[in-house]
Amino acid sequence: MKTCLAIFDFDGTLGDTRRNIVLTMRDTMRALGLPVADEDACAATIGLLLRDGFARLLPGAPDETLDRCVSVYRRIFDEKKKELAPRPFPGAAGMLSRLRAAGVRLAIASSRSSFTLAPLLRDMGLDGAFDAIVCGDGVKHPKPAPDAVLEVLRRMDVPAAEALVVGDMPVDIEMGRAAGVRTCGVLWGNATRERLAAAGADVIAASMDDIVAAILP
């Protein structure tokens, strides 16, 4: 069946934010006098809600500590943007333009909060590309639950069989599969081909062209 809607993850799929996220998470733990997780452990939480990521890195941490981590992280992330501006992956804007020109509708399903995603999309020049954006603060259950994808499908009035979820982490693939949507894992983000395949990705993309090829006939 023809794919008429592409639903993208943001971090690690469209936005090259890994370095910003990892450095900020480690600086947050350091600033609060907490054990500082290594880079790989921090990167493995990308795609989760921020609070859930810290909970995974700091098992047993009380709620107030996790809340402080989120608050400090957001402050440091904004400060770091001035010296280390996140950018879209090379070819991302062109890929989105090609899909739009072919009549494919575009959406985002991200674990980010709406107030942090909006300025990133604006700064990257991608803010006008999407017909619907669903963030982590807009659903009851975050990834890997299907809520964000189901909300996009509802808003766009598109059946699951006509959509494709594109993401870089197993939670993205699991979210799409749980919603009954075909999935595409990308290799330039934060997970390996093996992890994406194990999560059940229908397609694995090594380039932006591969995404286009998975969508257009």
Supply the pLDDT for residue 36. Answer: 97
CATH pick for 18-81 out of 3.40.50.10310, 1.20.59.10, 1.10.150.240, 2.40.50.140: 1.10.150.240
Instruction: For the chain, report the end-to-end CA distance as a whole number of angstroms.
Output: 10
Question: What is the widest separation between alpha-carbon atoms in the chain?
Answer: 53
Supply the pLDDT for residue 81. Answer: 82
Which sequence spans correspond to the domains of the chain? 5-16+87-215, 18-81
Supply the pLDDT for residue 147. Answer: 98
**By the 8 A CB rule, do 80 and 20 touch?**
yes
Supply the pLDDT for residue 85. Answer: 84
Predicted TM-score (pTM) of this structure: 0.91
Helix (H) or strand (E) holding 205: strand 203-205
Fold classification of 5-16+87-215 is: Rossmann fold (3.40.50)
Written as six digits, the tokens of 26 are 């480690």
CA distance 42 to 15: 17
pLDDT (tens place) for every residue of the chain, 217 residues total: 799 999 999 999 999 999 999 999 999 999 999 999 999 999 999 999 999 999 999 999 999 999 999 999 999 998 888 788 889 999 999 999 999 999 999 999 999 999 999 999 999 999 999 999 999 999 999 999 999 999 999 999 999 999 999 999 999 999 999 999 999 999 999 999 999 999 999 999 999 999 999 999 7
**By the 8 A CB rule, do 17 and 126 touch?**
no
CA distance 112 to 86: 14
**By the 8 A CB rule, do 110 and 133 touch?**
yes
Cα 203 from chain centre: 17
Same CATH fold, 18-81 and 5-16+87-215? no
